[in-house]
Amino acid sequence: MQSFRDEIENPIVQKEIIDLEKKIYSFRNGQIDDERFRSLRLARGIYGQRQEGVQMIRIKLPYGKVSSEQLKRITEVSDKYSTGRLHITTRQDIQIHYVSLDRTPELWADLAKDDITLREACGNTVRNITGSELAGVDVDEPFDITPYAHGLFQYLLRNPICQEMGRKFKISFSSSEKDSALSYLHDLGFIPKIVNGEKGFKIMLGGGLGSQPSHAELLSEFVPVNQIIPTAEGVIRVFDRHGERAKRLKARLKFLIKDLGRDEFLRLVDEEKKALPFHSYEIETAAFEGPITEPLLAVPSVTIDDVEAFEAWKKSNVIAQKQAGYVAIGIKVSLGDFYTDKARVLADLIKNYGANELRFSLRQNIVIRNIKEENLAFFYQELAKLDFVTLGYNTIGDVTACPGTDTCNLGIASSTGIATELERVLATEYPQYADNTGISIKISGCMNACGQHNMSEIGFQGMSINSGKLVAPALQVLLGGGILGDGKGRFSDKVIKIPSRRGPDALRYILNDFEANANGQSFLNYYDAKGEKYFYDFLLPLSDVTNLTEEDFVDWGNADNYVKAVGVGECAGVVIDLVATLLFEAKDKLTFSHEALQEGKWSDSIYLTYAGFVNGAKALLLAEGQKTNTHAGIIDLFDTVFVETNKIELSSSFKDLVYQINKKEPSEAFAKAYIQEGVAFFENIENYRAKDLANA
């Protein structure tokens, strides 16, 4: 009987899936500890849920693009292994929930049949590269960023430089200076520019959200397109070597840049140039050019009965493309959740009558692109059958929310429940805001900002509040964030904390005051004119916890009294401090380095050898009770603790030995010599470790 693994055409993916099976078996049999296994599965898109014994699977979809075939494959996987619900994330991934760990290799194998990956969707890796959902059709874009986002995605996928960093690393590509992909809050954010006829990017560096949001700094006003991969690789290499690894809350790139300073960080990036495999990298664009794909079938002519509703939909949800005669259709997907029955019909629709492509958006919606204007009536009719013509795409009524306490371990209060209620309030009480795109509402269930609450005009963060006897679910109200464009943005102020049940009233207070006092100003100008204290004062009555009712102790979307239950977060991976595991891993790295060498991948081999050096050194330092916060710190400390004390004899300092990586070009000769030195070093530390244990 043919194994599901045998159906995978790509031998690299087949090997990865077999490896995942082996790791699961080893974990089940106690051969791999829970902490190490968690890191392994996270890097393969497998994330623990709030509910014990099941996993969330994150499907990595670069810049949110899927074909009909890929969407159908995802629906089949969701029906077979999960519940049939698909969740669009704010990073343009698809998540499915309640999956058995033991079935994940088979699930991955099924996805791989249509070139869909789970690889590096979670964990301390380069996460999904996001991009403006209108890239390629945006009337404001200087050129299509899609091939460049795709090229960088392909280059970094499985790349040794970004497999086990101190924390996650996020990259975005905006289609224009409007910066709809939010470059200012990414580790690397790209904005397209044309200078003297040459294509390139403005690059923003070191942004981030979370509990301490940080605005990205300018890396360069203009980097030619053939330099973006060397630039990104240099930044990632420095982050991997110097980034914090022990203190999780300080392990993002933004903290490293703050500690080193921008100039010193960029000096270190410049130092890496000699080590890079490419000093110039031409990205293939031909596959993304050419005429728009014609529909397979003739689009039927239809008659619209409710012309007024059709015209309202066109005004709200249809976007003109830069290609004359074509439009894009925005589908508002409440909370990013939709089901496989509708997804299958949608897949057939875009394949038979469209250009066989849709994109998931950063606001958890769907965009169908390259539809001829004369075919809009037919698409309206067909989408209406799926209940996919709700008005308000990308408006204030299009609330963004993370899963919160529904499934996430870190959730403190419900995000989806309050989001549903706020959308209801907006639809029923504030119809005058139906087309308002100047105010966004975003909600996160905790401080980690997966719902991007702290960069929106109106944001809510899940919290808890103590009434004296009981704990009630609460919301932090944040105001004044937003996108300013061209790499600039602003973060929201934390105004006041209120019981969750009063969230709708807080929205009413804010909108009523905005209507009464804005005098035609934008929301951000109105907020700045009034000042944070003004909003605190008129929201203050909602914060009173002396008059809570029974209802206040039941969170939105729940039937039972609130219980604050926060588990171990996995969204940023874990720190592994086990000596035996690290030695085993160091040996693994040297094995992989040898394989890369045989395949002619000199740079990959060299970086894997480097990782072997560092993991081996870290293992011995941990056995001595030493701190191992960064790769650079490990390298320095190993000399101090072992080499300078003659506990371990090397032909040079450990620092000189390891840092050959950025002193020599990545040639075959160096790769061979470096791995031989790595093997010799590993034998040395293994012998030391054996003697140390024997004398213990």
Is 574 domain-assigned? Answer: no
- Note whether 45 and 142 are same-domain residues: no
302: phi then psi, degrees, rounded to nearest 5: -130, 160
Helices in 201-251 by DSSP H: which ranges?
228-242
The CA-atom distances, in angstroms, between 689 and each of 35, 60, 582, 617 are 22, 40, 12, 11
| CATH number of the domain bearing residue 151 | 3.30.413.10
Is 168 domain-assigned? Answer: yes
Residue after which a domain boundary falls, among 245, 263, 287: 287
- Note whether 543 and 415 are same-domain residues: yes
Is 584 domain-assigned? Answer: yes
Is 39 domain-assigned? Answer: yes
pLDDT band at 35 (very low <50, low <70, confident <90, very high): confident
- Note whether 407 and 483 are same-domain residues: yes
pLDDT band at 572 (very low <50, low <70, confident <90, very high): very low
Rounded CA separation 101/44 (Å): 12
The CA-atom distances, in angstroms, between 257 and each of 5, 161, 215, 219, 252 are 43, 19, 12, 11, 9
Does residue 128 or residue 578 have the better pLDDT?
128
pLDDT band at 649 (very low <50, low <70, confident <90, very high): very high
* Whole-prediction pTM: 0.92
Instruction: Give pLDDT, residue 574.
Output: 37
Neighbours of 540 (CB within 10 A): 12
- Note whether 299 and 280 are same-domain residues: no
Task: Select from 336, 39, 42, 362 the least CA-distant residue to 189.
Answer: 362
Is 185 domain-assigned? Answer: yes
Instruction: Give pLDDT, residue 656.
Output: 97
192 token code pair? 């397209």
Rounded CA separation 32/576 (Å): 12
**Residue 412 in contact with residue 446, Cβ under 8 Å?**
yes
- Note whether 203 and 307 are same-domain residues: no
The CA-atom distances, in angstroms, between 591 and each of 31, 585, 605, 675 are 20, 10, 10, 10
User: Residue 308 is inside which H or E element, if any?
Assistant: helix 307-317
Which tens digits make up the pLDDT trace of 464-474? 888 777 788 89
- Note whether 319 and 454 are same-domain residues: no
Q: Which range, of 154-163, 283-292, 401-410, 594-603, averages the lowest pLDDT?
A: 401-410
Is 199 domain-assigned? Answer: yes
Instruction: Give pLDDT, residue 49.
Output: 83
Mean pLDDT, residues 384-406: 92
Is 651 domain-assigned? Answer: yes
Whether residue 696 has pLDDT greater than 70: no
What is the secondary structure of 45-85 as a DSSP string? TEEE-SSTT-EEEEEB-GGGEE-HHHHHHHHHHHHHHS-SE
Q: Give 261's contacts (C-beta < 8 A, 6+ positions apart).
A: none
Instruction: Give pLDDT, residue 565.
Output: 55
- Note whether 282 and 302 are same-domain residues: no
Does residue 137 or residue 247 have the better pLDDT?
137
262 token code pair? 């921008």
Helices in 626-667 by DSSP H: which ranges?
631-638, 654-658
Whether residue 562 has pLDDT greater than 70: no
Residue entry with tokens 């089901």: 339
Residue after which a domain boundary falls, among 259, 287, 315: 287
- Note whether 448 and 327 are same-domain residues: no
The sheet carrying 94-99 orders its strands as 46-48, 55-59, 94-99, 85-88, 337-339
In terms of Cβ atoms closer than 10 Å to its own Cβ (0-12, 13-18, 19+), residue 568 is exposed
Rounded CA separation 669/117 (Å): 34
Q: Give 683's contacts (C-beta < 8 A, 6+ positions apart).
A: none
- Note whether 102 and 53 are same-domain residues: yes
Whether residue 478 has pLDDT greater than 90: yes
- Note whether 523 and 635 are same-domain residues: no
End-to-end CA, the chain: 52
Whether residue 455 has pLDDT greater than 50: yes
Is 561 domain-assigned? Answer: no
Instruction: Give pLDDT, residue 587.
Output: 85
- The dihedral over CA atoms of 109, 115, 116, 117, expressed in degrees to the nearest 10, equals 70
Residue after which a domain boundary falls, among 287, 312, 332: 287
Rounded CA separation 83/341 (Å): 12
- Note whether 500 and 537 are same-domain residues: yes
Q: How many domains does the chain have?
A: 5
Which tens digits make up the pLDDT trace of 400-442? 998 877 777 677 888 889 999 999 999 999 999 999 999 999 9
| CATH number of the domain bearing residue 306 | 3.90.480.20
Rounded CA separation 307/302 (Å): 12
Residue 182: give the domain boundaries.
130-287
Rounded CA separation 50/407 (Å): 5
- Note whether 617 and 683 are same-domain residues: yes
Which tens digits make up the pLDDT trace of 370-387? 999 999 999 999 999 999
- In eight-state DSSP terms, residue 279 is S
Which tens digits make up the pLDDT trace of 116-151? 999 999 889 999 999 999 999 999 999 999 999 999
| CATH number of the domain bearing residue 643 | 1.20.120.330
- The dihedral over CA atoms of 124, 129, 133, 139, expressed in degrees to the nearest 10, equals 140
